[in-house]
Amino acid sequence: MKNNKKTSPWKSIKVGLLSLLAMIIFAYGFQITKVDLEELRSENRQQSLVRVTRALAQPEIFEYEQVEEIVNYPIYVPCLSDGSQASASERSASEPYIVITPACANPGEIIQVEGFNFAPLTVGPIRFIPGNDPSNVVSLGRVNAETDSDGHFIVDMEIPDRTSDDAQFIRATLRRNIGAPRFSKTAYDTWNKIVETVFLALLATVFGTFLAIPLSFIAARNLMKTVKSPLTSISLSVLGWPLGILLGFVAVRGVGNFSAAIGSNVLVNLAGIIVSPALAWVGLRWALPQEEITRPSQNMRFARLGVILLVVLVSFYGLFQLANLAMSIGQTLEAVLGSFSFLGYFLFQVGDIVAIITPALGGLAAGGALSSILGRLGQIGSEKLPGSTIKTLNLILTTMAGVTVMGLLGRLVEWLYEIGEPMYTLWGPVAVGAIAGLLLATLTKPKESLPIGMVIYSITRTFLNALRSVEALVMAIVFVIAVGIGPFAGVMALGLHTIVSLAKLYSEQVESILSGPLEAIEATGANRLQTIIYAVIPQIVPPYISYTMYRWDINVRMSTIIGFVGGGGIGFLLQQNINLLNYRAASAQMLAIAIVVASMDYISSVLREKAI
Amino acid sequence: MLQIKNLTKIYDGGVKALDNVSFEVPDGQFLAVIGLSGSGKSTLLRCINRLIEPTAGQILWNGEDITAASQEEMRRIRRKIGMVFQHFNLVHRSKVITNVLAGRLGYVNPAWSLLNRFPKEDVEKAIKQLQRVGIAEKAYQRADELSGGQQQRVGIARALMQDPKMVLADEPVASLDPVLAHSIMSHLEDINKNDGVSVLCSLHFLDLVHRYADRVVALNEGRLVFEGLPKDIDDNKFKEIYGRDAERVG
Ligand SMILES: Nc1ncnc2c1ncn2[C@@H]1O[C@H](COP(=O)(O)OP(=O)(O)O)[C@@H](O)[C@H]1O
Ligand SMILES: [Mg+2]
């Protein structure tokens, strides 16, 4: 390539100045981050570095059965004024014994401890036992002794600063390994915690993925761009949500109470579980014919709506019965399964969770259903009714919707901050909502289609971006405060972070799908839901799987350290051991983390390749 | 009968893709739509099933105003209008049979689509359509394993699944080599002649127009510049449609 540009002196000066600036920035960075090699060279640091490194190199995974030989020998500190010496109890010649020279000493003096008749090649500490009780477990000072092949050792020891009129003791504890190595307690703890860690990551990934998928559709521009509705329909849908949630929650809780009243007899539960899905299936087959060429009559459609409502109630009844059965079976199993009692525990917990979230689920389902039915009514209304009627209707409905939304937001603020001032948290927002609704209804043409899809898209995107910028560790701290220390907080934090980051990644995939198949499916008369199922989903399955695996990978890594802030998993153990200077145990945990992360990395890369 | 009345489409960017276009298509006719690329052929065809919203004008089909139809009514209208695309627009990762069955989506209850279930008659029907276009043995392969010509036949089978009264074909042979073009065109001809389905087909090559079309409309920069029989396109008309510099070959 030819370089036609002349090099001007200005350019060189600019380059020089830039390098200087870069150097200054770099130097400042050094100072800020306290790069200090002097510190590394200091003797203290070096020693502890060596100690830690050695400990880390010997992870505490195996241990041996040990036999100990313990010998106590009395000593006066300081020496008695009458010169008498403490004497040891009688012993036979073959027993191990120690000799101390001199036989008494002052604090700070060095004594020599010599041992005889110990088992050969054993190691252990020589310690000073304060007080007059040789069985005292408190000890001061420590030197390590090691016997030769004759069972003999000599070590020097400094007498600690602890004086007494009574005889105190020098204790030699020599230990030797016998038998085959076995897993240490640390190894067992580490195993338990690493399992917890992996499952923490698994749960977070599964929950996160399930919630991220629907979110990713409403955060995809290409799908939402074409969603347009007239104002009547939008207001009615907005009103439908809270109303539906309320009705659904009450109805499903009613079903729950009915289910509870029937009792938790296993046979009754079983019957409920078998009969209700069968009933629901029959009802659905009747109410939702697979194909229909002509429009059904009005009465027929009402009858179907009624049947579907019944089907939903019956299904929820089945769900409650299932939860009940799971809880009672779980309880029984937990009592009889012994080491597999976790299966029973799991079943019980699942039942409990289902029983708790079912009313909420019912509320959400009813909210969605009512909102879409009302929205549909609004759509039909604004197609069929004259413009002036729609205008009036819009004025009323939009004002009501504005009041509802702002009122609820106000209640939320009140609940969060406990302001206790209805002017700010109730009447104010309600007035603002009413005015906004009125304005919107006045300013728009009555039958105009508004780009509600883009509004929802923008809100969702903003929300996702805001939450995504909060680190999972920070979320974990918040959840630890909310639900207490333990893996549950970790699951919530990682799960939430998974939802928002996957929703973003997924929605980018949705935005990059081919539009041709979408167009073709739409042209067949498919509705929006069908278009998503037949044209969008087949195109996004491979990248979704790939991103989910990638996220699972990240979650495993995150779950190993989320314990540092109390989020459960192995991090908690690791942090504890580091704080206790128990580096050999910490080393075992680090090793476990490395193994798990590396194998997850491998598995996920293999699975990703398979999926694409 | 399809009646297009003063149809105009102005895109968001301000491009006037259709400019006051009016013409009629009697039932059972094979109509070719010709014009340079960018003349508005695709826009015209997509306005008819409202994949694109017209800016102004009216489209009447057997007296029903398509441009004024509600979403619910549009679903019912669309399912009677099959569409075939230049780039086939199959869902690549789905099986051939699933792609064909998708033609029934306007008929099946959306709730059952959630479970990916089609009635048994539909599956049988799908196999029949594949037999008709001669690739029944490919039914359970993935769509992207097929060659271009085969993919376009799947596209036709999908349109046939709709029991269409009208088929819109947007340059159905433009991405195929000429030998295959005749095989695809003869399938469209078969549907037109034997099932009595109207076909609106945009085409590039005049020889195909002469061979298959009953009538021709021509667009130039969104305006209708010719409407008549294929044999009436003389040299003058040709230059009007394709521009002064165009050379007539063949
Ligand atoms: N989505 C769109 N947005 C803006 N302009 C478009 C769009 N689609 C097509 N156009 C423009 O409209 C005109 C007609 O395009 P098209 O109907 O695709 O022509 P043809 O199918 O005859 O090649 C062209 O000038 C094209 O650039
Ligand atoms: Mg085109």
Report pLDDT digits (tens) over A435-466: 999 999 988 888 888 899 999 999 999 999 99
Residues 43 through 72 of chain B touching chain A, CB cutoff 8 Å: 49, 51, 70-72
- Chain B contact present for A525, CB below 8 A: yes
Pocket (CB within 6 angstroms of ligand 1): B 11, 13, 15, 17, 35, 37-43
If you average pLDDT over every residue of chain A, what do you get?
Answer: 87
Which of chain A's residues have a Cβ under 8 Å away from the Cβ of B105? 521, 524-526, 530, 534
Q: Could you tell me the CA-to-CA distances from A176 to A542, A601, B140 in Å, in that order?
A: 58, 41, 70
* Closest ligand by atom to B218 CA: 1
The mean pLDDT value for A144-154 works out to 88
Give pLDDT, residue A90: 66
Among A168-182, A194-208, B155-169, the range scoring the smallest mean pLDDT is A168-182
Ligand 1 atom closest to B11 (CA)? 4
CB contact under 8 A, B102 and A293: no
Q: In what helix (H) or strand (E) does residue A494 lie, and over which residues does it extend?
A: helix A487-511
Report helix, strand or coil for B237: helix
Interface test with B, best of A524, A534, A541 (most B CBs within 10 A): A524
Among A30-39, B154-163, B166-175, B203-212, the range scoring the smallest mean pLDDT is A30-39
Give alpha helix (H) positions in chain B: 41-48, 71-78, 96-101, 110-113, 120-132, 148-161, 178-195, 206-212, 235-242
Residue B242 alpha carbon to ligand 2 centre in Å: 15
Domain ranges of chain B: 1-79+212-250
Among A86-95, A588-597, B120-129, B214-223, the range scoring the smallest mean pLDDT is A86-95
Residue B42 alpha carbon to ligand 2 centre in Å: 4
Most confident of A37-51, A60-74, B163-177: B163-177
CB contact under 8 A, A290 and B72: no
The mean pLDDT value for B124-146 works out to 95
Q: Which residue of A has its CA nearest to B118?
A: A290
Q: Which of A163, A167, A160 is nearest to A139 (CA)?
A: A160
Among A67-71, B90-94, B145-149, the range scoring the smallest mean pLDDT is A67-71
Q: Which residues lie below 8 Å from residue A11, measured CB to CB, with a gap of 6+?
A: none
Give pLDDT, residue A612: 64
User: Is residue B46 pLDDT above 90, yes or no?
Assistant: yes
User: CB count, 10 Å around CB of B225?
Assistant: 16
Q: Which residue of A has its CA nearest to B87?
A: A516
Summarize pLDDT for A460-500 with one digit per residue, the tens: 999 999 999 998 889 999 889 888 888 889 999 999 999 99
**With pLDDT > 70 as the criterion, what percentage of chain A qualifies?**
98
Give pLDDT, residue B168: 97
Q: Bigger pLDDT: A572 or B202? A: B202
Q: Could you tell me the CA-to-CA distances from A429 to A147, A412, A419, A425, A433 in Å, in that order?
A: 83, 11, 14, 6, 6
User: CB count, 10 Å around CB of A161?
Assistant: 11
Round to whole Å and give the CA distance between A384 and A97.
108
The C-alpha of B71 sits at a distance from chain A's nearest C-alpha, in angstroms, of: 9
If you average pLDDT over every residue of chain B, what do you get?
Answer: 93
Among A45-54, A238-247, B228-237, the range scoring the smallest mean pLDDT is A45-54
- Chain B contact present for A105, CB below 8 A: no
Give pLDDT, residue A397: 93
User: Is residue A208 pLDDT above 90, yes or no?
Assistant: yes
Summarize pLDDT for A588-602 with one digit per residue, the tens: 998 998 998 898 888
Which DSSP category does A569 fall into?
A: S
CATH of B1-79+212-250, one of 3.40.50.300, 3.40.50.720, 1.10.645.10, 3.40.366.10: 3.40.50.300
Give pLDDT, residue A104: 85
Q: Bigger pLDDT: A431 or A84? A: A431
Summarize pLDDT for A533-558 with one digit per residue, the tens: 999 999 999 889 889 988 988 998 88
Give pLDDT, residue A58: 84
pLDDT tier for residue A424 given thresholds of 50, 70 and 90? confident
Give pLDDT, residue A2: 45
Q: Which residue of A has its CA nearest to B83?
A: A523
Which of chain A's residues have a Cβ under 8 Å away from the Cβ of B70? 379-380, 383
Give pLDDT, residue A1: 44
Look up residue B41 and give its amino acid: K
Ligand 1 atom closest to B222 (CA)? 14
CB contact under 8 A, B106 and A525: yes
Give pLDDT, residue A138: 82
Ligand 1 site-directed mutation target among B8, B10, B15, B224, most atoms within 8 Å of CB: B15
CATH number of A67-183: 2.60.40
CB B226 within 8 A of CB B217: yes
Interface test with B, best of A213, A226, A233, A290 (most B CBs within 10 A): A290
The mean pLDDT value for B226-239 works out to 88
Most confident of A132-146, A325-339, B42-56: B42-56
The mean pLDDT value for A119-123 works out to 86
ipTM of the complex: 0.95
Give pLDDT, residue A174: 87
Q: Bigger pLDDT: A448 or B157? A: B157
Q: Could you tell me the CA-to-CA distances from A483 to A277, A468, A486, A569 in Å, in that order?
A: 35, 21, 8, 16
pLDDT tier for residue A611 given thresholds of 50, 70 and 90? low
Give pLDDT, residue A513: 94
Ligand 1 atom closest to B18 (CA)? 14
Q: How far is CA A474 from the centre of its chain?
A: 11
Residue B178 alpha carbon to ligand 2 centre in Å: 18
Give pLDDT, residue A5: 55
- Chain A contact present for B103, CB below 8 A: yes
Cis peptide before A78 (omega within 30 of 0): yes
Residues in chain A: 612
Q: In what helix (H) or strand (E) does residue A180 lie, and over which residues does it extend?
A: strand A168-183
The C-alpha of B230 sits at a distance from chain A's nearest C-alpha, in angstroms, of: 29
Ligand 1 site-directed mutation target among B19, B36, B42, B48, most atoms within 8 Å of CB: B42
Residue B198 alpha carbon to ligand 2 centre in Å: 20
User: Is residue A87 pLDDT above 80, yes or no?
Assistant: no
Q: Bigger pLDDT: A96 or B156? A: B156
User: Is residue A62 pLDDT above 90, yes or no?
Assistant: no
Residue A516 alpha carbon to ligand 1 centre in Å: 15
Which of chain B's residues have a Cβ under 8 Å away from the Cβ of A293? 107
For domain A41-61+184-228+454-612, the question of CATH label 1.10.3470.10 is answered with no
Instruction: Provide the whole-model pTM.
Output: 0.78
* Closest ligand by atom to B46 CA: 1
Q: Bigger pLDDT: B206 or B193? A: B193
Q: Which residues lie below 8 Å from residue A60, measured CB to CB, with a gap of 6+?
A: A184, A186, A187, A584, A585, A587, A588
Summarize chain A as % helix, strand, coil (round to 5): 70, 10, 20
User: Is residue A7 pLDDT above 70, yes or no?
Assistant: no
pLDDT tier for residue A273 given thresholds of 50, 70 and 90? confident
